Amino acid sequence: MARPRSQHSPASFASDTPTTDAADPVLRLAGQLRRRYKGCITGELILPAQPGQYAPIPDELDPRLKKALEARGITRLYTHQAEAWQRVRAGEHLVLVTPTASGKSLCFHLPVMQAVLERGVKALYLFPTKALSQDQVAEVQALNEGGNLGIRAFTFDGDTPGDARKAVRTRGDIVVSNPDMLHQGILPHHTKWAQFFENLEYVVIDETHTYRGVFGAHVANLMRRLQRVCRFYGVRPRFIMASATIANPGELATRLIGEAVSTVDQSGAPRGERHLLLWNPPVINPDLGIRASSRSQSTRIARLATRMGLKNIVFARSRLMVEVLTKYLKDVFDKDPRRPPRVTAYRGGYLPTQRRATEKDLRAGRVDCVISTSALELGVDIGSLDVCVLNGYPGTIAGSWQRLGRAGRRQRPALGVLVAGSDPLDQFIVRNPEFFLGAGPEHARIDPDQLLILLDHVRCAAFELPFRQGEHFGDEPLEELLGYLEEEGVLHREGDQWYWSADSYPANSVSLRSVAEDNFVVVDTTGGGKRIIAEVDFSAAPMTLYEGAIYMVQASPYQVERLDWVGRKAFVQETRVDYYTDAIDYTRLKILDDFDRARHPESTCAHGEVHVVRRIPGYKKIRYYTHENIGFGEINLPDQEMHTTAAWWELAPQTLEARFDSRQEALDGFLGAAYAMHHVAVLRMMSEPRDLGRAVGDGDARWFATVGSHGRGQIRDEQGAEKSPDAQGRFRPAVFLYDNFPGGVGLSAPLFDQRVAVVHDALGLVGQCECTHGCPACIGPILASDETRGYSPKAAALRVLGLFGEAP
């Protein structure tokens, strides 16, 4: 039951609020936070405990599997596990949507292992990360040992040794892999897997909610290729999928596999009482409206929890913040290096052995507090946690609940605290608690038929097997695509079939995640030796491995002495400094060509090719604890550039002069309009926000616009220096929405086609918002009253959108 509380006058707790149980430390901590920091708590939600709902073990379950379950203390199933068993055994495709630690794994392990024991069939498990794959293999092995089943389960990923791969293909009953390996390492070599495919009866896809946006569109096409290869070997596998809570699990699952899917979403697992607090840091400078940092508040809550003996997790929104928070907590709890650490960090970039060791320590209860990025958001088994702290709003309702669900895994009471940062979206959430507490999870959307993505997978599929006339692959006319590839010289037609005729290996040039593959390695040269201590992906390297950067591993600082950009190596040495470093970046955009234009009397919308430049000119040195800026350094790295496609909207110069009293008002209007149009476009394109980039600039890359620290639009030139809008000779701002991937992925063309609907929906989004002058729910961080500006940013954004949408 939701209990939003006013920020300025928190309401007293209702009479049905559970009484704090002094014997339970979680409830004691929750009560202590309410009493001592009630001015910070703007809203709360109390979810009562729920008893378990059970069903008997199915009579037809193999006695050996029954014995395996009994060895683990399982003598009955939860009702959702029993329903899943019945639906899968009836031959249905299935998606499961139940909370964390509700026993989803057994929902697919039992029918799969039963079929292996009954008929010797094969199963393919797909997980988005290697850590999850390792978890599931360990669980299958535990069942194996409990019932002496003899089922062979192996992982097949990039870490699988070459000499073991043949054994996996020929001897594995359950092969556990990931979409990337299926794409590049299995389907193109399916003839080596013939024995496996001929007996493939089940495909399990876990964490289905992660397959959305561009990544989801790639995976949906990958499933088309998998089903096509399966048909070649005469099999039609059943799909069992598992997902975190999203608004449309059945729809997403159906889009992923292209067939009807049943949904099981009523959990029978017991659940302990859960408390959620929305926390706004206190104001420390009323004149300037400055609040205490979310860092200080999150560490305070984690310290209290740890001192009370509660296992807790803190989620941070960046790898840098993970390291800063880890240092602050280690400074309190891990002062003695001779004692095992009570605090640990977990994030991408750590070596696999280090991550596996951390997971093992968490499961064994040897760690009291873990600080993580979203890397632990997924269902890796990390044991029993009591408290979850979100250092900043993750950006979505679904993502917030997924992280908060990591606490309370063992049916005990659990506490979650969402600590707001200073950015406008966080402040909107905690100042309007009913928005978060009353909202459902977002929809996960994909469009598998985005032309460029579809074409990439048609190439890959043609390499795997010839296409026949009349064959289907998605909803687009296939023969037209095959004809285009024939003209391109990669396909050759003989009769009613198209054969791959190029020397290239198409899967190698198609990345499902559309990121560069070359990671940087971090080499510690302290004392004259050379030891690899971390890996950093290509996109993050310029922001973290520049010369002079402080790179942290488990809060231990290393200074980057030299960066070998070509060799993808950063050489570091241990150091002792009282600061960390944070890079500064900006993006500018230049129009190269327009493919199409729609002219209106006062505005123009166009679609074309653009050049995007991301530059990282320097970095700040920030002192620990005080967070004051104590220095600046220059960064000399190549610009990150890409050609992509975009749709953009601009107003005629005479319209700007006539409709706006100042260039500043017009600039704020453009920034607000861009924010609203971006969010509308994401929904219309069935993509993720990160799939589409947005920018406001002049189209010649001479200046670009950003939102300053006081919520006011500002202009920066090519070098990143701030300029006054009035100092620009030519002032012709445009809103750009661009494909955020090199070469584009086919989003901007349909966006241009839907330009009228995008502007219309953005007008509705802003116009129907109940705020007065603008908020993160409509125009983003353009926050200031018209008393301080002389105009309303919301009204300026509505004026821009209205001019974009005027009929010819």
Domain that includes residue 485, residue range: 466-509
* Distance in angstroms (rounded) separating the CA atoms of residues 225 and 473: 8
Nearest to 5 by CA among 440, 432, 389: 432
Taking 90 as the threshold, does the pLDDT of residue 482 lie above it? yes
pLDDT the model gives residue 154: 92
- CA–CA distance from 426 to each of 280, 288, 396, 711 (Å)? 9, 18, 11, 14
Q: Domain check: are 396 and 304 in the same one?
A: yes
* 747 lies in some domain: yes
Structure tokens that stand for 155 in this block = 């992982």
* 458 lies in some domain: no
Taking 50 as the threshold, does the pLDDT of residue 14 lie above it? no
When pLDDT is cut at 50, 70 and 90, the band that residue 44 belongs to is very high
Is the Cβ–Cβ distance between 327 and 555 less than 8 Å? yes
Q: Domain check: are 653 and 756 in the same one?
A: yes
Taking 90 as the threshold, does the pLDDT of residue 19 lie above it? no
* Distance in angstroms (rounded) separating the CA atoms of residues 291 and 281: 6
Q: Kindly report the CATH number assigned to the domain that includes residue 313.
A: 3.40.50.300
* 109 lies in some domain: yes
Q: Domain check: are 155 and 122 in the same one?
A: yes
Per-residue pLDDT tens digits for 644-667: 999 999 998 888 889 999 988 999
* 453 lies in some domain: no
Taking 60 as the threshold, does the pLDDT of residue 136 lie above it? yes
Q: Domain check: are 190 and 63 in the same one?
A: yes
* Distance in angstroms (rounded) separating the CA atoms of residues 152 and 171: 7
Tell me whether strands 603-623 and 579-599 are parallel, antiparallel or unpaired: antiparallel
Q: Domain check: are 134 and 211 in the same one?
A: yes
Q: Mean pLDDT throughout 525-551?
A: 92
pLDDT the model gives residue 375: 81
Per-residue pLDDT tens digits for 547-587: 999 999 999 999 999 999 999 999 999 999 999 999 988 88
Calculate ∠ Cα 405-408-414, nearest 5°. Answer: 100
* 447 lies in some domain: no
Taking 90 as the threshold, does the pLDDT of residue 159 lie above it? no
Q: Tokens 């989803």 label which residue?
A: 104
Taking 50 as the threshold, does the pLDDT of residue 1 lie above it? no
Sign of CA dihedral 732, 616, 678, 179: positive
Residue 16 vs residue 383, higher pLDDT: 383
Mean pLDDT estimate for the chain: 87
Q: What is the three-state SS of 589-644?
A: EEEEEEEEEEECCCEEEEEEEEEEEEEEEEEEEEECCCCCEEEEEECCCCCEEEEE
* 448 lies in some domain: no
* 460 lies in some domain: no
Q: Domain check: are 160 and 301 in the same one?
A: no
Among 207, 238, 264, give the residue marking a domain's end.
264
Q: Domain check: are 404 and 345 in the same one?
A: yes
Cβ-in-10-Å burial (0-12, 13-18, 19+) of 235 comes to middle
Q: Mean pLDDT throughout 793-797?
A: 92
The percentage of the chain sitting over the pLDDT mark of 70, rounded to a whole number, equals 93
Among 264, 289, 306, give the residue marking a domain's end.
264
Q: Domain check: are 364 and 496 in the same one?
A: no
Per-residue pLDDT tens digits for 197-213: 999 999 999 989 889 88
Exposed e or buried b per residue across 66-94, where buried means at least 16 C-beta atoms within 10 angstroms of its C-beta:
bebbeeeebeebbbbbbbbbebbeeebbb
Q: Domain check: are 299 and 422 in the same one?
A: yes
Is the Cβ–Cβ distance between 797 and 677 less than 8 Å? no
Structure tokens that stand for 716 in this block = 């920066």
Q: Mean pLDDT throughout 636-640?
A: 86
Number of domains in the chain: 5
Tell me whether strands 369-372 and 312-315 are parallel, antiparallel or unpaired: parallel
Q: Domain check: are 212 and 289 in the same one?
A: no
Name residue 242's beta-bridge partners: 96
Structure tokens that stand for 757 in this block = 């609907």
Per-residue pLDDT tens digits for 739-783: 988 888 888 989 999 999 999 999 998 998 877 788 777 887 665
When pLDDT is cut at 50, 70 and 90, the band that residue 384 belongs to is confident
Q: Tell me which of 228-237, 257-266, 721-730 is least confident.
A: 721-730
Exposed e or buried b per residue across 101-136, where buried means at least 16 C-beta atoms within 10 angstroms of its C-beta:
bbbbbbbbbbbbbbbbbeeebbbbbbbbbbbbbbbb
* 188 lies in some domain: yes
Q: Mean pLDDT throughout 143-165?
A: 88
* Distance in angstroms (rounded) separating the CA atoms of residues 630 and 616: 19
pLDDT the model gives residue 807: 43
Q: Mean pLDDT throughout 602-611?
A: 92
Q: Domain check: are 210 and 239 in the same one?
A: yes
Is the Cβ–Cβ distance between 413 and 700 less than 8 Å? no
Among 577, 596, 619, give the residue marking a domain's end.
577
pTM score, whole prediction: 0.85
Q: Tell me which of 95-109, 309-323, 374-388 is least confident.
A: 374-388
Nearest to 96 by CA among 340, 297, 267: 267
Exposed e or buried b per residue across 768-789, where buried means at least 16 C-beta atoms within 10 angstroms of its C-beta:
ebeeebbbbbbbbbbbbeeeeb
Q: Domain check: are 414 and 282 in the same one?
A: yes
One-letter amino acid identity for 2? Answer: A
* Distance in angstroms (rounded) separating the CA atoms of residues 144 and 152: 9
